[in-house]
Every structure is written in structure tokens, then in C-alpha cells.
Structure 1
Amino acid sequence: MNNQFVVYLIKTLKILLAITLAIFLVRSFVLEPGRVNGRSMEKTMIDEDLFFVNKFTLLYKPPQRGQIVQFIEPENKTLTIKRIIGLPGETINIKQNHIYITPRNGTEFRLEEPYLTNNIHTEAVGIFSANSLVVKENEYFVLGDNRTQSKDSRYYGTINRAFILGLVVPTNN
């Protein structure tokens, strides 16, 4: 084998290794693609829509109400996307098909949800059928936008911050 070819081969392998490492680092810590699986986020996102998960932002800033997040669902350990509704320390109530939130040391307010379609309302079902719920520290209350088709915090409770992987960035808009 000629020496020039060996040098070229080594340079090429180094470049391919650097590219592979860069892709791995970006997907692990910055941005990862995903695909919607199911109808729980309709009309915001529909089944099979592509999205990106922004993992970087949550390294320095906690999730906020209204953001869509990807997390590991506690019951079956699958990747799931839902909207953050309740924050740590808040009390969540579902009354007359609307969500009411009482912040820590605050006054109860009705949550305005412009992302819901007119025929979607929130029912108190599952573990949420009789009582209000206080969101514990480092926990979040999440719901799907298509409430009638969504298995969410009303069924499996709040989500620990450690299971939230990142913010969902839809590609359909």
C-alpha cells in the first residue's frame, strides 16, 4: 500500500469519527428528532408528525406551564409528549370541565387554554375523579391537548422532573 493512501485513509477515518461523535453529542445533549405516536396532542400535533426535542434548555431552566415536553411515562416506560399544566407546589382542581390552579400562597385562577379546540373539555377521571391534587416538589402535572384521547396525569399522577427529557419543538408550523 502506498504511504500517501494510508495518510489519506487515516485523515478520512478521523473526519468520520469526529462527525459521528458530533452527531452523538448533539442527539444526547442538544436536539433529537421524534415522531408523534397517537392522537393525544391533536390539534396541536397529529399522529406521525415530526418534532425535535430541545434537551439543552432544560439544563438551565425548569419547564414552564404551557410548554410541550417529552418524558418517560411512569407506567409503561415509553417516551410520551404532553403539555405542562401544573408546576411544583400548585394545587390542581378540575371543576365543570375546566382546570383551576392555586399557586403556592396564591389565589385560584381558571387556566385559559387557547390551544384546545371548542369541543374539547377536561374531565376529572382516573385518580383525579374526586379530589384536588397538590403537585409535589420536582413534579409536574401534564395533560394531552386532546383530553378525550389522552392518558395523562389524571391517570398516572405527576411526572418527576428527572423523567422529563426536553421541550418539544413542532415542525408542522
Structure 2
Amino acid sequence: MGRWVRTNKGFLVLLLCFGLFRTAIADWNPIPSGSMRPNLLEGDVVFVNRLAYNLKVPLTDVVLARTGEPKRGDVVTFSSPDDGTRLIKRLVALPGDVVEMRHEVLFINGEAARYDAAQTLREKVATGLTVDATRLTERVQGSERRVQWLPGIAARNSFAPIVVPEGEYLMLGDNRDDSADSRYFGFVPRQLLIGRALGVMVSADIQGHWMPRFERFGQKL
């Protein structure tokens, strides 16, 4: 065993450096579900900057130093406060914000989001189930993104005003009626933030025989 280690020392060092790079500096994250539609699709693989917010001890949530401040509108990867699952959502509200939702309409600090550029289409939400969907541009508190509503789908599309606690954040999926997010598991503490997603590295159509979607390669978020 010792001889094998000596013989392959260079390869083992390379593996160690690669592991440290992925767990502390940068990473990639496959998109397994439609919770971020229409901006991220199942089969996308996004590039994640792990140093965007915190420098952590590799493989832990122990923060050594803060490297940047999360911003409203960031697409963030984080560990679910519910069960530790890695998730990717939109950071919608910051510490101290008063946030509310009334029948899909988002309010932040008393400002109602503006919605325009509506588009209607059919969206597949499960095997054999296709529903009407509405896509709109949502603008509020200086940030904007395309969001999707699924009329007729039971979801938590209303909640009373609540103040985001210090050191925590409210996350929502862009696909508002098909996303398990802060409406279900609560606020996300800063130490659970993994990094900021910057763009799509590669993409494959998982429902179309895994054919590459070249038009999505390199797409920024």
C-alpha cells in the first residue's frame, strides 16, 4: 500500500487539490427539478462561486470569514434548514426586510412587485400532466427576473407580512407554484449558504434523450 501511495503521490495530491477546490472555492450544481423555471431548466448544470459570501472549512458549514454580502435577486445554492438537502433558489428578501405575498404578488417593505411582459403557455408538471402557465417579469426593490405562475395548482401563494430575522434570508423558486422554498421550510441562516450561481455551464434535455442544448451553454443568470 505504501509503495502504491508513493508511486501515485502526484495523482493523489491532484485529487486532494481538486476536492478542496470544489468544496471551498468553486463548484457546479446540476438542476434536478423545475422549481427555478423558466430561468433554470432540468438538465442545466450551473457554475457556483463558493467564495461569493463565505470562506468555510471544507465539507462543513463552519465560516472562517465573510467574503461578500448576499444581494436581493442572487441565485443561491444552500443547504436546506429542513433536512440538509442542497437546493438552489432566488434570494428574495434580506435581513430586516418586511416581506409578504398576496395571491402571487410579492411585497417587500410595502412595495408591491410590478409584473409585465406576460406570456401564456402549457407546462408539463408531472408525467402525463400538463397545465396552463403564465410567465411574467417581476420587478421589486431594484431587482427583476422572469417568474412563472401555475393557475389552478395548490400552492402557498399568500402569506402575511413577516420580518426577515438578522443573519437569515428568504428564498423563493422562480417557478412560484412548483417550488419547495422558504414558504415551507422557513428562513435560511447565512452559514447554510453555499455559494452564488453565476451561469449555465452545460445543459442537456433530460426528456429528449439527453441531447445537448447548446443554446444554453454559457448563459448568465
- For the criterion TM > 0.5, the same-fold answer is yes
More strand per residue: 1 or 2?
Answer: 2
Deviation at 1:130, TM superposition (A): 4.5
Q: 1:109 aligns with which of 100, 108, 111?
A: 111
Change (3 A) 1:100 1:121: farther
Q: Does 1:98 align with 2:105?
A: yes
Q: Does 1:48 align with 2:43?
A: yes
Q: Tell me what 1:18 maps to.
A: 13
SS of residue paired to 1:147? coil
Change (3 A) 1:83 1:130: closer
Q: Tell me what 1:154 maps to.
A: 183
Deviation at 1:91, TM superposition (A): 0.5
Say whether the 8 Å CA contact 2:94–2:164 is kept in structure 1: yes
Identify which of structures 1 and 2 has the higher relative contact order when contacts are C-alpha pairs closer than 8 Å and 6+ apart. 1
Which runs of 5 or more residues in structure 1 are unaligned? Answer: 1-5, 103-107
1:162 maps to a residue whose letter is: Q
- The count of aligned residue pairs is 158
Q: Tell me what 2:69 maps to.
A: 62
Q: 1:134 aligns with which of 163, 177, 184?
A: 163
Question: Please, what TM-score do these two structures have when normalized by structure 2?
Answer: 0.64
User: What root-mean-square deviation, in Å, do the aligned CA atoms of Structure 1 and Structure 2 show?
Assistant: 2.7
In 1: Cα distance, 2:90 partner to 2:70 partner: 10
Q: Which runs of 4+ in 1 moved over 3 A?
A: none
Which runs of 5 or more residues in structure 2 are unaligned? Answer: 55-66, 114-138, 201-215
2:17 maps to a residue whose letter is: A
Q: Tell me what 2:28 maps to.
A: 33
Say whether the 8 Å CA contact 1:54–1:167 is kept in structure 2: yes
SS of residue paired to 1:65? coil
In 2: Cα distance, 1:76 partner to 1:29 partner: 21
Deviation at 1:145, TM superposition (A): 0.5
More helix per residue: 1 or 2?
Answer: 1
Deviation at 1:54, TM superposition (A): 1.0
Q: Report Cα offsets for 1:70-94 as digits up to 9, x if no partner.
A: 1111223211100000000110011
